[in-house]
Amino acid sequence: MSESMRGTRLGALSYETDARVVPAERMVISYTCPEGHQSLVPFSVEAEEIPFDWTCRCGRAAVRLDTDAPEQKPGRHVRSHWDMLLERRTIKELEELLQERLDLLHEQEGSKPAALRKTA
């Protein structure tokens, strides 16, 4: 408990006995773009999140080949807000929510006729 205030980093000591100077603080991630260019991007080992893709020098999106895409299909499908919404709600729930909001709107607009309301 006495060393709790020390700022010592894990692993900092272990490299002191090594003859070589090891850049312990970094790792290099390789990104490959559709043109076959390789981008080597150094990241801090302490980085909380290594991005899966990187913009290549040619402007294309390069990706890591050493790991799978995070929840992404190769069909370059990008999760939309709608997709995320569907993961939490069913269509039925959404319909009910929508109807609630519509009812509220209609109440607020009071004077307008309900002719625009779509009834299934």
CB of 76 to Zn ion, least distance (A): 16
Residue closer to Zn ion by CB (options 57, 89) is 57
Location of structure tokens 């090594």? 18
- What's the token pair of residue 110? 């009071």
The DSSP H or E segment spanning 62 is strand 61-64
The residues of the shown chain that bind Zn ion, judged by CB under 5 A, are 33, 35, 37, 56, 58, 60
Tell me how crowded residue 52 is: count the other CB atoms within 10 A of its CB: 17
Distance separating alpha carbons of residues 12 and 24, to the nearest angstrom? 8
Distance separating alpha carbons of residues 83 and 69, to the nearest angstrom? 17
CB of 41 to Zn ion, least distance (A): 13
Residue closer to Zn ion by CB (options 35, 93) is 35
CB of 60 to Zn ion, least distance (A): 5
Residue closer to Zn ion by CB (options 56, 63) is 56
